Structure 1
């Protein structure tokens, strides 16, 4: 099972192919610096093999070193293009490193201390770490170490130190690459969200200064036209309220993945006749499941208002938020709930209030209070913003 990362798509072993342009740009820079490192490494390989010598077959050794130079030029050109950087070429790069280690015993004198490629194999190791992240760096380090040990046939303190650096460096580079690509993808997504939010705010102001002002003017003057004007004013008033609700939803904060702005979700309830929502202007972010349950609780309260007070009876929803909890109240101006009515409904199996309202709030670890009388009915809910265990007494 693989975990999806922002801007990354599934690959051979892990999510390996970035799709976010910002992540691709970061990966491009990594491979460009890897190309610089590879040319330094291949120059070091040529110099050390010329200086140390120790070849039993000098011609074969020279051909092997020449092949490493040619491969360095070829693979650096391949990695320069995102389209060409496929798993095939990365695997081929690792195979070339493994073969060059294995051929060392064929061209060098018995008991050699340094391989022909030497530190050159780091280029293939880092390419696997960039392409396949943690597992790529780890697997490449293990294969290179085992290949060298089997070919060499002995283990010394210096050789062990080289293996240790490979086994530690490969995975660490893979983890760092994964972290950098995630960060680039998330930063780009946040910048796009901020830009979109700024544009929505600009459009909302334009609508407020233009369309809403005209609708308000029509609503005030329409009754002067007679009975038809009264109906026209009512329709215009409904559309004005709906448009204001839409603007409020669009002008709230941009949620992060898995989060919902409770202000926007509750503002959508203003589309119901007679419902008014008062909420903070800067938004209230909650987990999606928790926000959905709170909206369901408020909707159940409004359903009761429509059923027992009237389908167009006025109702007010007030949202307040602190660092630890959200507080929601729903109030109407009906005749109130008669004493014992809720208990009787629960005994008769009608669990609208007990289940839809109190039950949902209890599942969220919150509390619900009911105030009712001739002046109307008001529900007050308090729900913690962070999860806490439900205690059953």
Structure 2
């Protein structure tokens, strides 16, 4: 059973609950001081009763991460504004002239904080603007005090929202780092176990088969290829997709290494969008497949990955006989679209480019370039 991680913004929720009860006490004091000047004291006490009930409800819900629903936070803002808008019916004209506090007083400042903790900076700002607008309607005029309250409400929602978002991103980054560390430790353990058993057996089969010759030499060649592939597998870093949807191109390419294919990559991971990694690996496999089919059994290939500031460059080169002039065009005309579909169109769909350099007797060299940023929709 997967353990659910606690929301890193939980301390902000607890602070919101504490602030709500403190401001409720302040609202009670203001009500006791000004109740004799109200037009409808009973309505003021009814509004305060609603504040007490709603404070208890939100406190119970905000204490648990599973009950911090989005609709509850939106309802919190709406109920707070509704209680605030009872002020024109409760306060007398004299109290308005003396700038007496509204029925909700500073209790109304809490919902923007809850919205920031739940929705981030944008939610906090929107809630602050809504509560500020309700304050203006309750005051029935736009004064310097109303404008100041609006700025404070918006700014507090913004700051809490930024803090909550930063905390959640930090937790996600830490969790990803811990998963990577655990995967690396497990891979190292498996690598030691495989090296002491399977790799040693394959190496012995390869050497002994080469000595015997004949059909045993073919078995030795196959054992050698599997030895190289297995070594690449256990020494390759984590190449799976992360929570952000990217993957390691370096690790995926290293798995293509065989006795006839040498892969050279940077020391660290080269993380790109998962779809980009999948397409680049598929294009590389197509180029290597062409080497195997057309360059002869003795041809060798080299794959070089370069990570630049704004793009990734992938070079696939072989020492085969090369491609005769016009051969690719004739293949397209005959309906054989391996290179056209599997390499050229793949790179075009990624917003990248590919170039081919070849001459008869000089091998072939593909250069695939893909921008690191996400390509614009419809780019070719």
Partner SS, residue 317 of structure 2: strand
TM-score (norm 2): 0.75
Equivalences for 1:225-244 in 2 at 5 Å? 233-244=220-231
- Aligned partners of 2:77 and 2:317: how far apart in 1? 66
What is the aligned counterpart of 1:82 among 65, 70, 80?
A: 65
What is the aligned counterpart of 1:282 among 247, 268, 276?
A: 268
The change in CA–CA distance for 1:41 and 1:183 in structure 2 (over 3 A counts) is same
Indicate conservation of the 8 Å contact 1:134/1:171, yes or no: yes
- Aligned partners of 2:227 and 2:94: how far apart in 1? 88
1:353 CA drift (Å): 9.3
Partner SS, residue 102 of structure 2: coil
What is the aligned counterpart of 2:145 among 158, 177, 198?
A: 158
TM-score (norm 1): 0.73
Match of 2:251 in 1: 264
Alignment partner of 1:103 is 2:103:
no
Partner SS, residue 83 of structure 1: helix
For each residue in 1:45-79, what CA deviation from the matched residue of structure 2 results, as whole angstroms up to 9, or x when unmatched?
A: 22333345533444554454354344323421221
- Aligned partners of 2:190 and 2:75: how far apart in 1? 53
Match of 2:179 in 1: 192
For each residue in 1:297-348, what CA deviation from the matched residue of structure 2 results, as whole angstroms up to 9, or x when unmatched?
A: 54343333333344x444222314253553524223x4x248xx32365367
Mind listing any 5+ residue stretches in structure 2 that lack a counterpart? 376-380
Match of 1:326 in 2: 313
What is the aligned counterpart of 1:121 among 92, 108, 111?
A: 108
For each residue in 1:192-212, what CA deviation from the matched residue of structure 2 results, as whole angstroms up to 9, or x when unmatched?
A: 234323432332233224321
- Aligned partners of 2:339 and 2:60: how far apart in 1? 69
Indicate conservation of the 8 Å contact 2:247/2:277, yes or no: yes
What is the aligned counterpart of 2:117 among 114, 130, 133?
A: 130
Equivalences for 1:292-311 in 2 at 5 Å? 292=278, 294-310=280-296
Structure 1, 229-238 or 101-110: larger mean CA deviation:
229-238
- Aligned partners of 1:87 and 1:284: how far apart in 2? 37
The change in CA–CA distance for 1:99 and 1:280 in structure 2 (over 3 A counts) is closer
Match of 2:168 in 1: 181
What is the aligned counterpart of 1:315 among 300, 304, 312?
A: 300
1:81 CA drift (Å): 1.1
- Aligned partners of 1:64 and 1:345: how far apart in 2? 81
What is the aligned counterpart of 2:357 among 351, 357, 369?
A: 369
- Aligned partners of 1:213 and 1:146: how far apart in 2? 75
Match of 1:40 in 2: 22
The aligned length equals 361
- Aligned partners of 1:377 and 1:385: how far apart in 2? 27
What is the aligned counterpart of 2:192 among 180, 183, 205?
A: 205
1:290 CA drift (Å): 5.2
Mind listing any 5+ residue stretches in structure 1 that lack a counterpart? 1-18
- Aligned partners of 1:276 and 1:139: how far apart in 2? 56
1:388 CA drift (Å): 12
